Amino acid sequence: MSEENTQHMPDGRSFEERVFARFDELAASIRGLDARLTGLEAKVDQRLKETRPIWEQVLVRLDAMEKRFGRIERDVDSLNRKFRVFNEETLKWQNQQEDLEERVSKLESEPAK
């Protein structure tokens, strides 16, 4: 291989100089990206600080709602039991009423003695 190809480039710099220049450009780009990322992180942290109290209030309210819904569920379960018992008692009373009506009808249909 000839050394001539790498020594005589159009911009007059050696291969090593061009490689190091490119590394410098990449390092500068990385520093720029790092600065932008740091700025974005700062903005995100600030937004989190701004919204954290709101979310804490939301969580407190959700906890309170969850407790209330738990009480409501227990109340509904209790009412369901009461309605079942009420329906059973109503059916018993209806049954007894029908028995009485049959007995009265039977007595009314018998000839008087």
Q: Convert the pLDDT of each residue in 75-87 to its tens digit.
A: 999 999 999 999 9
* Maximal CA-CA distance, the chain: 146
This prediction has a pTM of: 0.43
Helices first, then strands: H and E counts in the chain: 2, 0
Mind listing the pLDDT tens digit for each residue in 2-45? 555 555 566 788 889 999 999 999 999 999 999 999 999 999 99
Do residues 18 and 26 lie in contact, with contact meaning Cβ atoms separated by under 8 Å? Answer: no
pLDDT confidence of residue 113: 66
Distance CA 57, CA 70 (A): 20
User: Can you give the residue ranges of every domain in the chain?
Assistant: 4-109
pLDDT band at 52 (very low <50, low <70, confident <90, very high): confident
Q: What SS3 class is residue 6?
A: helix
